[in-house]
């Protein structure tokens, strides 16, 4: 599933080609996504000028003059820039054609993503209860420490909770805990303030690095330009169960936490 760096990479790729352009036509070939594409999306969006392309957590916000298109890539979705009128391949569900001659195409084999319309997107039911952005000023180690007090759940699912902080998915939670030397199985409430300060720093550093690398290429993620990200080449823990630890040379172990694979070093992480 595309995580925050992949979504931010997509946003950065498509924003310069969308902002300031006018939508000339919307073609909806398949409305049956995770939630149905609004039947009147073409009426609402056609003729509108796109003002801004933003992001909240893993949701893309394409702000037009009279409303905002909320996009989610789901498990396998992508938004790619193509020439308007290009023949639709399989799973090309929506085209948003622009006055520049380009089109934004939503492609999703599993149809688990979403394209929704809202006049007030930050108050939409999918967004209004989300925690702070991990790269924003509202997120820090003190927040993690305070919210974790009395919590018996493991620290890894704790930092993956979108009410605590958004966008720290399985890949980046695994890497951040490895970098901070924290065992992902530890109870969230048992970790000190100092260690949470370190963990927050590593979350920010790793997410920023992943964005700079264009995201992580897992399965079929590609950015808005159709190119894959390459952060996967720098992963030190995720997907490396049974391999050697790059710090101590020991063997990395893999366990299940919250139905997710979690890789850690029993020597380096405590």
Write out the two tokens for 230. Answer: 């390459």
Residue 244 per-residue DSSP state = B
- 128 labeled binding residue: no
Q: Which of 112, 36, 114, 130 is nearest to 72 (CA)?
A: 114
Catalytic site residue 156? no
Q: Residue 27 in contact with residue 97, Cβ under 8 Å?
A: yes
Distance CA 183, CA 174 (A): 10
Residue 49 per-residue DSSP state = B
Residue 159 per-residue DSSP state = H
Catalytic site residue 19? no
Catalytic site residue 198? no
Q: How many CB atoms lie within 10 A of CB 146?
A: 10
Distance CA 1, CA 197 (A): 28
- 143 labeled binding residue: no
Catalytic site residue 56? no
Instruction: Please identify which of the residues 11, 55, 58, 195 carries the catalytic annotation.
Output: 58
- 93 labeled binding residue: no
Residues in binding site for DNA:
91, 110, 151
Catalytic residue annotation: 2-3, 58, 260
Residues in binding site:
91, 110, 151
């Amino acid at each position: 599933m595309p995580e925050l760096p992949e979504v931010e990479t997509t946003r950065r790729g498509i924003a310069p080609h969308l902002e300031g352009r006018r939508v000339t036509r919307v073609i909806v070939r398949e409305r049956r996504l995770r939630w149905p594409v609004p039947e009147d999306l073409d009426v609402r969006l056609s003729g509108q000028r796109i003002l801004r392309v933003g992001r909240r957590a893993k949701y893309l916000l394409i702000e037009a003059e009279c409303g905002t298109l909320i996009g989610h890539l789901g498990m396998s979705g992508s938004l790619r820039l193509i020439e308007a009128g290009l023949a639709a391949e399989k799973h090309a569900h929506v085209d948003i054609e622009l006055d520049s001659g380009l089109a934004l195409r939503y492609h999703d084999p599993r149809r688990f993503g979403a394209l929704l319309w809202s006049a007030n997107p930050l108050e939409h039911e999918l967004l209004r209860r989300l925690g702070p952005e991990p790269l924003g000023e509202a997120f820090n180690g003190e927040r993690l420490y305070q919210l974790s007090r009395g919590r018996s759940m493991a620290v890894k699912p704790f930092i993956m909770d979108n009410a605590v902080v958004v966008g720290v998915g399985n890949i980046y939670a695994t890497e951040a805990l490895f970098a901070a030397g924290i065992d992902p199985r530890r109870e969230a409430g048992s970790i000190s303030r100092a260690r949470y300060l370190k963990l927050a720093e590593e979350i920010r550093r790793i997410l920023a690095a992943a964005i700079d690398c264009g995201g992580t290429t897992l399965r079929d993620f590609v950015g808005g330009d159709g190119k894959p990200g390459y952060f996967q080449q720098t992963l030190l823990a995720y997907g490396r169960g049974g391999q050697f630890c790059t710090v101590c040379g020991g063997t990395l172990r893999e366990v299940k936490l919250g139905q997710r694979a979690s890789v850690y070093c029993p020597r380096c992480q405590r």
